[in-house]
Structure formats: structure tokens, C-alpha cells
Amino acid sequence: MTRPESVPALTDALREVGYLADRGLATTVHVALSLDRPVLLEGEVGVGKTEVAKALATVLDRRLIRLQCYEGIDTHQALYEWDYARQMLAIRALSEHDLADDGSVDALFGPRFLLERPLLDAVHAGDGAVLLVDEIDRADDEFEAFLLELLSDFQITIPEIGTIVAERPPLVVLTSNRTRELHDALKRRCLYHWVGFPSAERELEIVQVRAPGVSLALAEAAVAAVHRLREMDLAKPPGVAETIDWVQTLEVVGAEALEPEVASDTLGAVVKDRDDLEQVREDLGWVTSGA
């Protein structure tokens, strides 16, 4: 397992797998790897928070374990669960004689009947994994408190089996869309980085990396248009993911330049709110050409 030794090395390695990290993000990840701290990424929708974890998994040659959070997620879905149906069948299959034997009963609560969920999986994998806890703000605060405990010592206790400790903790990346404020205690455990919209030059680079084969002129025009859209006070400003989508859409419909007609037809790839669409359509000439 190779680990980039410095911030520039990490940036280059990420670039090789198609992720352009800025200096701040690369430093944060580098520090996280060196200090074994989790990283908390907050930022607008579609600026590549989740992509970071995927790229890191590739760069570090680790397995990506993803835990998508949602309201009501609890330990059974995040940590482990016993396979009750199979246990039930196994009990029925045991004879009177078998039940007298402790071993066969113990086996009922052995690894065979344990369903590993992402967090337990990550603790088992240790530093062979990148654990992505996606959209932590969607889970409720009870889950956050539970996660806090796990993130501080990376050990899980299963009463029937014992305590499982990760020898070297996995790299943990948490993402949040800021639908609610996370607890300070959780933030304190993590390294914090705000992922903002990239500058036009960088976004153009990103587009070229993610959508190779699109003409430079078209990509430039699309990126410039997206930046004008972000200036426009829209309810939902387009993210980088939308820019890439749009450029790819333009390519699919065979556009050679960003004409207002083509832009109008493909606007759905980049503006995803009805009121915004109307607002943009009124100003389409300015958006596409800047004049």
C-alpha cells in the first residue's frame, strides 16, 4: 500500500485518477492520513464531496466502504445484524441432544450468522479501507452520537462475540450538505474542510478530465455559462456535477458551439428548478455568450 508522502504528491496522485483537488483539500486529507483523523467535508451540492472518497480509495489502493445515511438509520443497518431467519431455521434443525451441547448453541451466535454492515466491515478492514459516511446530516442526532463513539476508538463490541478493534483505523470521510448543524463534539473529532465551487480555470480542467473528447471551445463556453448562472441568484445554483452533465449532454446532441437554441434545449441538465428555468430562459443570450 503506497501512501503519498507529501501534499503535492497526494495532489498528483489524485489527479492521475481524475480528481483535481485544490491545495486545501489535499492538505486536509494529507493531515488526516498522517494523524488518523476523520475528515468532514461540507459544501454545496455537486462539488465532488463523495468523489473525493472514491478517488482516495483508488489512490491508496483501499476498498471503499460506503454508508449512505438516511433518517432513522440505526445500528442494525450501520453496524451488524444477526441473521434471524437462518438462526431460527438452525434452531429447529438442532436435535434435543445438540441443544445440550454448548458448542452448537454458541455457533448460533457465531460469525456464520452475523451480517456485517458497513461500519463493522470498516473496523474489520482497518487501514485497508476508506470509509465514506455519506450525507451524515440526513441521519438523526442519535446516530451522530453513536458515530462519535465509533470514530474515537474504532472498536465495536458485540456482546456474543466480543470486542473487535481496528489495529489501524480506516480513513474516514464524512460528507454533509448542511441541512442541519452537526454537533460540535463530532466536528471536534474531525478535520473540517469546506468544499466551494472551483474557479473557472479549475472547473475547465475538471471538465476536460471528466469528459474527455469534448472540444475545448465548447467546454470553455459551457464553463463560462455555468459561472454566469452561479452569479444569477438562482434558487439552486448548478454544481460541478451539473457542468459535467451539461457538457456531456451538449456532446450527445452534437452541438459544436453553445448557441442559445441548443442551450435552451439542454438546459434541463444544468438548471433543475422550474422558477430558475424561467429566469434563465429570459436571459439566455447573456448566459450563453456573456453579452
Partner 1 sequence: MLVGFTTELRRAGLTLGSGDVLTYCAAATVVDVTDLVDLYWAGRCTLVTRREQVPAYHRTFVSYFLGEPGDSRGASPFSPVVRAQALAMLTLPETELLGEEQQEHAAEMGYAASRASTAKAKSFAACTPEELAALRRILRTMQLAPPRRRTRRTTPTRHGRLPDLRRTVRESMRLHGEPGSLHRRRRRLRTRRLVLLLDVSGSMADYSRNLVQFAHTSSRASNRTEVFCFGTRLTRITRELEHRRPDLALDRAAAAVTDWEGGTRIGACLDDFVRRWARRGLTRGGIVVICSDGLDRGDPALLESAMQRLARLCHRIVWLNPHRGDRADFTPDTLGMTVAEPYVDELLSGHDLASLSEFARVLARMP
- Residues binding partner 1 (CB under 8 A): 6-7, 23-24, 27-28, 30-32, 34-35, 37, 39, 42, 70-72, 74, 82, 84-85, 87-88, 91-92, 94, 99, 105, 108, 137-138, 140, 142, 177-180, 184, 187-188, 191-194, 196-197, 199, 230, 235-236, 275
Letter for the amino acid at 16? E
Q: How far is the CB of 40 from partner 1 (least distance, A)?
A: 8
Q: How far is the CB of 265 from partner 1 (least distance, A)?
A: 26
Q: Which is nearer to partner 1, 163 or 179 (CB)?
A: 179
Q: Which is nearer to partner 1, 64 or 90 (CB)?
A: 90
Q: How far is the CB of 253 from partner 1 (least distance, A)?
A: 30
Q: Which is nearer to partner 1, 27 or 58 (CB)?
A: 27
Letter for the amino acid at 230? R
Pick from 69, 196, 186, 213: nearest CA to 131? 69
Per the structure block, which three cell numbers stand in for 192?
A: 473540517
- Is residue 249 a contact partner of residue 237, using CB atoms and an 8 Å limit? no
Q: How far is the CB of 227 from partner 1 (least distance, A)?
A: 10
- Is residue 131 a contact partner of residue 171, using CB atoms and an 8 Å limit? yes
Q: Which is nearer to partner 1, 100 or 165 (CB)?
A: 100
Per the structure block, which three cell numbers stand in for 88?
A: 431460527
- Strands in 129-134's sheet, in edge-to-edge order, are 63-68, 129-134, 171-176, 39-43, 191-195
Q: How far is the CB of 87 from partner 1 (least distance, A)?
A: 6
Question: Measured between alpha carbons, how far is 53 from 130 in angstroms, rounded to an integer?
Answer: 7
Q: Which is nearer to partner 1, 45 or 125 (CB)?
A: 45
Q: How far is the CB of 43 from partner 1 (least distance, A)?
A: 9
Q: Which is nearer to partner 1, 87 or 208 (CB)?
A: 87
The string over 266-288, giving b where at least 16 C-beta atoms fall within 10 Å of a residue's C-beta and e elsewhere, is bbebbbeeeebbebbeeebeebb
Question: Measured between alpha carbons, how far is 75 from 180 in angstroms, rounded to an integer?
Answer: 21
Q: How far is the CB of 244 from partner 1 (least distance, A)?
A: 18
Handedness of CA 25, 28, 30, 33 (dihedral sign): negative
Letter for the amino acid at 180? R
Q: Which is nearer to partner 1, 53 or 214 (CB)?
A: 53
